[in-house]
Amino acid sequence: MYLVDRGEGSDVRFTDVSGSRIHRSEQNFMPSFSMMGRVVRVVSVLAVWGVFGAEVGGVEVSSPPHPTVLLVESGESRLPVWNVAGASPIVDRDGKKTKLRSDAVFFAERAPHYADGDVKIAKVTVNGMSLVATVDSMADISRAGGKLGGTAYFEFTANASVDLKGAFVAVLIYDKRFLTDDRVNPVPEIVVRELPTLLAGEDTKIRFSSPLTDPKARPGVLLLVFAAGGGEVQTNFSAYAGRYFQRIAQARLAAALPKYLAEPGPLDRAAVPALRFNPILPENVIKPKAPIEVMLAVSEKGWVTEVELPEEIDPRLATSLKANLQGWMFLPRIVAGSPVSTRIKLPLKF
Q: Is the pLDDT of residue 293 over 50?
A: yes
Selection from 109, 105, 37, 38 nearest residue 77 by Cα: 105
pLDDT of 219 reads 80
* Domain coverage including residue 299: 2-16+261-349
Whole-angstrom Cα distance, residue 177 to residue 186?
8
User: Is-contact 161 119, C-beta < 8 A?
Assistant: yes
User: Is-contact 295 307, C-beta < 8 A?
Assistant: yes
Do 11 and 33 belong together in one domain? no
Q: Is the pLDDT of residue 40 over 50?
A: no
pLDDT of 95 reads 87
Do 10 and 24 belong together in one domain? no
Do 243 and 281 belong together in one domain? no
Whole-angstrom Cα distance, residue 85 to residue 105?
16
Q: Model pTM?
A: 0.78
Amino acid at 247: R
Residue 256 belongs to some domain of the structure: no
Do 114 and 233 belong together in one domain? yes
Confidence of residue 170 (pLDDT cuts 50, 70, 90): very high
* Averaged pLDDT of the chain: 79
Helix (H) or strand (E) holding 89: strand 88-93
Do 114 and 228 belong together in one domain? yes
**Neighbouring-strand partners of residue 294:** 346
Total domains in the chain come to 2
Confidence of residue 287 (pLDDT cuts 50, 70, 90): confident
Q: Which residue has the higher pLDDT, 306 or 45?
A: 306
Q: Is the pLDDT of residue 196 over 70?
A: yes
Q: Which residue has the higher pLDDT, 103 or 222?
A: 222
| SS3 (DSSP) at 264 | coil
Lowest-pLDDT range of 23-27, 120-124, 182-186, 339-343: 23-27
pLDDT of 130 reads 60
Do 242 and 274 belong together in one domain? no
Do 239 and 279 belong together in one domain? no
pLDDT of 3 reads 36
User: Looking at 247, 272, 289, which one is the last position of a domain?
Assistant: 247
Do 171 and 211 belong together in one domain? yes
Do 125 and 60 belong together in one domain? yes
pLDDT per residue over 81-115, tens digit each?
999 999 999 999 888 999 998 888 898 999 999 99
Do 192 and 78 belong together in one domain? yes
pLDDT of 57 reads 60
User: Looking at 201, 225, 247, which one is the last position of a domain?
Assistant: 247
Residue 196 belongs to some domain of the structure: yes
User: Looking at 247, 277, 305, which one is the last position of a domain?
Assistant: 247
Residue 103 belongs to some domain of the structure: yes
Q: Is the pLDDT of residue 42 over 70?
A: no
Whole-angstrom Cα distance, residue 26 to residue 192?
9
Do 154 and 181 belong together in one domain? yes
Query: How many residues are recorded in the chain?
Result: 350
Whole-angstrom Cα distance, residue 20 to residue 82?
18
Do 182 and 206 belong together in one domain? yes
| SS3 (DSSP) at 210 | strand
Selection from 166, 149, 182, 10 nearest residue 81 by Cα: 166
What average pLDDT does the segment 233-253 reach?
A: 93
